[in-house]
């Protein structure tokens, strides 16, 4: 009996040796503990389709943030979080520039304006930017004509959501950067800074 057990153990040992030898390259050989080969990767906001999380919605490992959750440090995004609509454009008139018109904010506004806006609006704000000069783009209004007809809040809204042929910059510039640019374009155009002055928010 003892002999038989030893023989069987020996055979098993041999078998594992042989199968282990067949491993190589991408082939792990026989998998005795598959979980060690196929780790259950945790993706925070998604999960592998074949291994969904069975407790949370959408098979995700992380719970979705509660509706209306604001990321740390982004409280100022929430203040201006409105969908694009004519009503909201009108309502944006009430938004006032919370930043002081300091040398720093004007310099930052100028820097961001020159990067993002000059191809159309031009460095002098008169709307003859390079792509307009090339004749590839229809005329862009001069700030000195347009800004007096709107106000800082509407300018903020249009920069955020875009307007007709102008693209949206809400994902490009933070709210603070948008207000800095607004200080700068009012300064540039010489237009009276309607509601662009410092206010407490």
What residues line the site for ligand HEC (CB under 6 A)? 116-117, 119-121, 140-141, 146, 150, 154-155, 158-159, 163-167, 169, 181, 185
Which lies closer to ligand HEC via its Cβ, residue 47 or residue 189?
189
Which lies closer to ligand HEC via its Cβ, residue 96 or residue 121?
121
Which lies closer to ligand HEC via its Cβ, residue 59 or residue 163?
163
Cα torsion through 10, 11, 14, 19, rounded to 10:
-140
- Least spacing, CB of residue 115 vs ligand HEC, in Å: 8
- Least spacing, CB of residue 123 vs ligand HEC, in Å: 12
- Least spacing, CB of residue 100 vs ligand HEC, in Å: 19
Which lies closer to ligand HEC via its Cβ, residue 47 or residue 158?
158
Which lies closer to ligand HEC via its Cβ, residue 61 or residue 118?
118
- Least spacing, CB of residue 131 vs ligand HEC, in Å: 7
d(CA 81, CA 157): 10
- Least spacing, CB of residue 116 vs ligand HEC, in Å: 4
Q: Which of 182, 194, 181 has its CA nearest to residue 151?
A: 194
- Phi and psi for 31 in degrees, rounded to 5? -95, 110
d(CA 173, CA 119): 16
End-to-end CA distance of the chain: 90
């Amino acid at each position: 009996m003892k002999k038989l057990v030893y023989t069987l153990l020996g055979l098993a040992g041999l078998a594992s040796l042989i199968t282990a030898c067949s491993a190589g390259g991408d082939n792990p050989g026989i998998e005795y503990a598959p979980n060690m080969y196929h780790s259950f990767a945790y993706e925070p906001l998604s999960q592998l389709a074949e291994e969904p999380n069975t407790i949370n919605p959408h098979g995700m490992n992380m719970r979705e943030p509660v509706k209306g959750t604001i990321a740390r440090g982004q409280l100022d995004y929430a203040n201006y979080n409105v969908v694009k609509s004519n009503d909201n454009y009108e309502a944006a008139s009430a938004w006032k520039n919370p930043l002081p018109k300091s040398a720093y904010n004007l310099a930052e506004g100028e820097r961001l304006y020159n990067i993002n806006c000059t191809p159309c609006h031009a460095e002098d704000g008169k709307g003859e930017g390079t792509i307009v000069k090339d004749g590839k783009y229809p005329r862009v209004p001069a700030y000195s004509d347009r800004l007096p007809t709107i106000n800082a809040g509407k300018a903020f809204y249009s920069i955020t959501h875009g307007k007709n042929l102008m693209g949206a910059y809400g994902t490009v510039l933070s709210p603070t950067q948008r207000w800095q640019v607004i200080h700068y374009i009012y300064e540039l155009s010489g237009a009276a800074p309607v509601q662009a002055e410092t206010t407490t928010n």
